[in-house]
Every structure is written in structure tokens, then in C-alpha cells.
A = this chain, B = another copy of it.
Amino acid sequence: MKKLINDPGAVVEDALNGLVAAHPSLAVRDRVVYRAAGPRPGKVGLVSGGGSGHEPLHAGFVGHGMLDAACPGEVFTSPVPDQIVAATAAVDGGAGVLHVVKNYTGDVLNFEMAAELAEDVEIVSVLVNDDVAVQDSLYTAGRRGTGATVFVEKIAGALAEEGAPLAEVARVASEVNARSRSFGIALTSCTTPASGKPTFELPESDVELGVGIHGEPGRQRAPMASARELAALAMEAVHGDLPLEGDLLVMVNGMGGTPLMELYVVFAEVAAYVRGKGARVARSLVGNYVTSLDMQGFSVTVCRLDDTLTRLWDAPVETPGLRWGR
């Protein structure tokens, strides 16, 4: 497996240097990515983080309208508490800090430890656990956190930008998670830079239904099928857990190695499925947002919108991974 890296041990640092070189509005210090302009007095700070290898998540969502800081761990490895403590202290503008934590055991423990260590900062944590595929897994007790993280960070970030207090930002962040569901399907494994070998074996004839973003097992292996059939399998899992109703925010997310052309083919099928249930795709994202290195496959994430969430989704955002104006 060939990779565009210098050294497997330096890949995270090298990539962060590239990120801030490409985006002068960001700064990196001690393995934390910040807005270069620093915290805004009176604004709730948003901090997230998790293993690297899921780019643009999380560091690519730092900027106006989303995160104030991101703590990237090594590839597929949780950030350490020191990173999170430093990020939390640095982004506190006096209104407290929200921790957005994907539900993986290591992330949860390290964010909890950091919250205990971070003195003199009011902190509320919101857990993202939108993946309906499995109840417990290799990395997680309960459901895993995946695509809804993007929705939580965007919508809570917009609310914080408006000056809402910490309790309200946290409430809406939790509400976005509660209204969101995800399901992923892998066509191939991913390969970490450190191992240089596929994380799991998947024959040419099969897909992994409900795969996790580190290549964790899902619900079952199934025969490779058409985009229509695979989209329906994913959407049935989502719809079975939270019925599709009303206006929806729908993301078809690439795992990193899947061509955009194919993601649009999947999106067309997802949109048809939604229409078939009498619901409406009111907002959407199609592309690579929560990746698993070079894995081929897709995940779909659905959030039931209301007027407030739609307004906050539409608010301006200026990050490497999501960017739009008024």
C-alpha cells in the first residue's frame, strides 16, 4: 500500500503543518488546531477531537461558525487529556466551553479526564452516538459517534457564534444528536500508515454492512450489490430506528477512497428513498466529511430538521471542510 507520507510516525504532524499552511486562519500549537484569531470574549468555545485519519473531521471544521479548537490524536487513536485541557483553556472566552465527543471509549475517558483537569472553565460535554449499526463494538460501549458529529459541530457552532449561553448551545447540540442517525457500508478496508496492511479482510464479492469509521465490524457481511440496493439497506437501518419524516438534512459521506461520482449515484438513491417515505431532503451534503483513510464505501446520516436547526445550518461558516456565506 503506497501512501503520500514522509514517515508513518510523523504523518499527523506533517498533515497539520499542511493544514495551517493552506489555511492561514488556523494555527497549530502542541498538537491542537485553533482559530488563529483566538477566542472571542463572551462566546461559548467549542472543542472537539478524536483520532486522525477521518479528515476533514475534526481539524478541518475549526473556524468561524464551527469549532474553536480541535485535538487530533494519532491515526485512529484518541487525543490525550493534555491536548484537550490546553485547547479548553485557550478557547475559553469567559462563557464556558462545549466539548463535542464522539462515543468511543478512549475519547470519552480522555475528554472526561480533561474536563476534571481544566480548572476555572465551565465545561459541558455532549456525546455523539448516531450510528445505528451496532449497540456495542470494538471501540465503544453503546452506539458509535460518526456523521452526526458534523451536524452537531455546525449547528452548535452557529448558535455559539450568535452569542447563546453554554447551556443553550449544549441543549441544541444534544438535540441535533438525538435527531440524527447514521449507517455506513464498506466496500474495502482501510490501511493505516503504521501497519501498511489492510485493517480487515473483505473479499471482492462482499461488503461490510454497518462498518465503523476505524474499520470495526458492522452488523454483517453481505454480497456486493447495486448502489440502489446498498442505499436502501443503509436507509432501512436509519428509518427503522428513527422514521423519516418532514424536512431532513441528509449527508452522503465518502469513506475517503470513493469517487465523488459514485457518492452522487448513492445520493440519488437516498433522495428517492426519502421521497418514497413522504419526507423531504431539505438540506444535503455529498462528499468526504468523516473519512476512514483510504477506505472505499459510504455512510449516510440523516437529521430531522426544524426551523431553528435549519436556520443554524444555513448560517455562514468558514472552515477548511465546510464553507459558505450568507
**A187 / chain B contacts, CB cutoff of 8 Å:** 2-4
Query: A18 near B323 (CB under 8 angstroms)?
Result: no
- Chain A residues within 8 Å of B, Cβ to Cβ: 1-7, 11-12, 14-19, 21-22, 52-53, 55-56, 60, 187-188, 204, 207, 224, 226-228, 230, 252, 256-269, 271, 281, 284-286, 288, 291, 293-294, 296-298, 316, 318, 320, 323-326
User: DSSP majority for the A interface?
Assistant: mixed
Q: From A272, which residue of chain B is reached at the shortest CB distance?
A: B21
How far apart are the CA atoms of A7 and B228 in the complex, in Å? Answer: 10
Could you tell me the distance in whole angstroms from the C-beta of A264 to the nearest C-beta in chain B? 3
What's the Cα separation between A102 and B28 when bound, in Å? 38
A185 to B263, CA, bound (A): 24
Question: Measured between alpha carbons, how far is A79 from B74 in the docked complex, in Å?
Answer: 45
Residues of B within 8 A of A230 (CB): 4
* 15 pairs of residues in contact across A and B, judged by CB atoms under 8 Å: A2-B224, A4-B187, A4-B227, A5-B265, A15-B264, A18-B268, A18-B286, A21-B268, A22-B271, A257-B296, A258-B294, A288-B288, A294-B296, A324-B324, A324-B325
Contacts of A3 in B (CB 8 A): 187, 262
Q: Given the complex, which residues of B lie within 8 Å of A188, measured CB to CB?
A: 2
User: In the complex the two chains form, what is the Cα distance from A204 to B3 in whole Å?
Assistant: 11
Within the assembled complex, what's the spacing in Å between the Cα atoms of A19 and B228? 16
| Chain B residues in 8 Å Cβ range of A11 | 261-262, 265
Give A286's nearest chain B residue, CB to CB: B22
Given contacts A4-B230, A187-B4, A227-B4, contact A19 B294 (CB under 8 A): no
Q: How far is the CA of A21 from the CA of B231 in the complex (A)?
A: 15
Interface centre among A2, A259, A269 (most CB of B within 10 A): A259
- 8 additional A-B pairs beyond A2-B207, A256-B259, beta carbons within 8 Å, are A3-B262, A18-B264, A18-B271, A21-B271, A22-B285, A53-B261, A259-B291, A259-B293
Q: Does the CB pair B257–A294 fall under 8 Å?
A: yes
Interface centre among A188, A204, A268, A291 (most CB of B within 10 A): A268
Nearest chain-B residue to A191 (Cβ)? B259
Task: Enumerate chain B residues within 8 angstroms of A260, measured Cβ to Cβ.
Answer: 55-56, 60, 256, 288, 291
Residues of B near A320 (CB, < 8 A) are: 286
Does A262 contact B227, Cβ atoms closer than 8 Å? no
Distance between A194 CB and nearest chain B CB, rounded to angstroms = 13
Interchain CA distance A14-B277 in the complex, whole Å: 20
Once the chains bind, are A4 and B55 in contact (CB under 8 Å)? no
